[in-house]
Amino acid sequence: MWSGKGRTAIVGIGYSEITRRPQKPLGLLAVDACRAAIADAGLEPSYIDGLATYPEMPFAGAGNRDGEDVVSVMYIVNHLALAPDIRWYAQIETGMIASPIIEAVHALIAGACDYVLVWRALHRPTRRPSGGGTAGPRAAGEAQFTAPWGCNTIIQWHALAWQRYMHRFGATREALAALALNSRCNANRNPRAFFYKEPMSREDYFNSRWIAEPLCLYDCDVPVDGCVALILTGAERARNLRHPPAYVAGYGQNTAPRRTLLHYALDDYMECGGSLARKLWNSAGLGPHEMNAAQLYDGFNPSTLYWLEAAGFCREGEGGSFVQDGRIALEGELPVNTFGGSLSEGRMHGMGHIAEAVRQVTGRAEERQIQGAEAVCAIDGSPMLRGSGIIVTRAP
């Protein structure tokens, strides 16, 4: 078990507006979220002496202008009156959404700073310059093996993997429908969710248009502008703040080598996802069956199913039946994406998953509260590609 278990905690959550029609640039939405998180913790901006973010643009080829397309550490330093001396910061390139939190935990345990602000700001570009920036007559690098055939967007790769999954395990779109409907149902109890007031029926799901067959519109997250921010501190300080702390019990990041770089070969998902999950469970000394809920990334819907298997909630190939019969509902055996996921809350790229894990173990999950939630995991990324995850607990 990891010696850092329970020594740090998430103590504040802040959301900006999540919208498809932003009235302000992304940088100012990020400032809104950061201010909200600091206030939620019961702190003042001047307490914040550590900063971490994963600022990557939403897809290859998107813009990279600070404050409009991305929000960097220096942007926040320039726009919030934080501690006079920022003692520590990190801007993560590898990994994913939990990765800056993992680094923040390390910094706090090392004594590098006292209060860390972590945020992730996501911009929805109005025009997708698509194809990994390979528009034009030439393609280089990995794209030379996909772009000449027009097969170089992430959703096409997910569609290929899901087609293969259905073939291999005899699964059907019913599995994805169950996940999408579960998320929408939960979002209808989450006032921050983009689809808070819009229910979805089974017919709505099956009648929605194809994006990349066999994936339809409702298998994709909602592209939005918005930001989610969190505050972390050491366990001692955490006990004296406004809300109960969500202790960081363990973490894992995906480090397995991929067997093909060309697209998401389905064959990698158990190994790659497993490399994250093993570290996650071992560090916390907890297993999948001790989780009171699982917040599993759903940038594209099949990822949640793959994570259920790769993280050991069910066996390989059994995800399709696992998600049926209410098992993943709020009152089910393993509630999944209790806040609506990225599919229905909006594309906060995994930060919504972490925020909800915190809410559940601190009794702050409103109408979605799972009674007696002691431990909840949040895992982001696609198990075929990369990812990071944490477990938060009610007790240290």
Partner 1 sequence: MSRQLAFTPVSGRGTVYSFTVMHQRDVAGFEEDAPFINIVVELEEQQRLLMVSNLPSAERERVRVGAPGEVCFENRGDGVVIPQFKLVRA
- 134 part of the interface to partner 1, by CB under 8 A: yes
Query: Cα–Cα distance between 88 and 71 in angstroms, integer?
Result: 17
For the CB of residue 246, give the shortest distance to partner 1 in the complex, in Å: 38
- 86 part of the interface to partner 1, by CB under 8 A: no
Kindly determine how many residues on this chain lie close enough to bind partner 1 according to the rule CB under 8 A: 39
- Choose the stretch contacting partner 1; rule: CB under 8 A; options: 93-101, 208-216, 270-278, 296-304: 208-216
Query: Cα–Cα distance between 131 and 129 in angstroms, integer?
Result: 7
Nearer to partner 1, 83 or 256 (CB): 256
Nearer to partner 1, 83 or 217 (CB): 217
On whether the CB atoms of residues 2 and 46 are closer than 8 A, the answer is no
Query: Cα–Cα distance between 356 and 340 in angstroms, integer?
Result: 10
Nearer to partner 1, 61 or 387 (CB): 61
- 263 part of the interface to partner 1, by CB under 8 A: yes
- 131 part of the interface to partner 1, by CB under 8 A: yes
- 213 part of the interface to partner 1, by CB under 8 A: yes
Burial level of 240, CB count in 10 A (0-12/13-18/19+)?
Answer: exposed
Torsion sign across C-alpha atoms 251, 30, 58, 208: positive
Query: Cα–Cα distance between 280 and 252 in angstroms, integer?
Result: 4
Residue whose token pair is 């099949």: 302
Among 122, 161, 105, which residue's Cα sits nearest to residue 30?
A: 122
For the CB of residue 211, give the shortest distance to partner 1 in the complex, in Å: 5
- Choose the stretch contacting partner 1; rule: CB under 8 A; options: 129-137, 245-253, 282-290, 333-341: 129-137
- Choose the stretch contacting partner 1; rule: CB under 8 A; options: 11-19, 125-133, 240-248, 386-394: 125-133
Mark residues 161-200: x for contact with partner 1 by CB under 8 A, - for none: x-xx--x---------------------------------
Among 250, 282, 242, 281, which residue's Cα sits nearest to residue 362?
A: 242
Q: How many CB atoms lie within 10 A of CB 172?
A: 11
* Residue type, position 249, single letter: A
- 20 part of the interface to partner 1, by CB under 8 A: no
- 106 part of the interface to partner 1, by CB under 8 A: no
- Residues found near partner 1 in the complex (CB under 8 A): 128-131, 134-137, 145-153, 155-156, 159-161, 163-164, 167, 209-215, 259-260, 262-263, 265-267
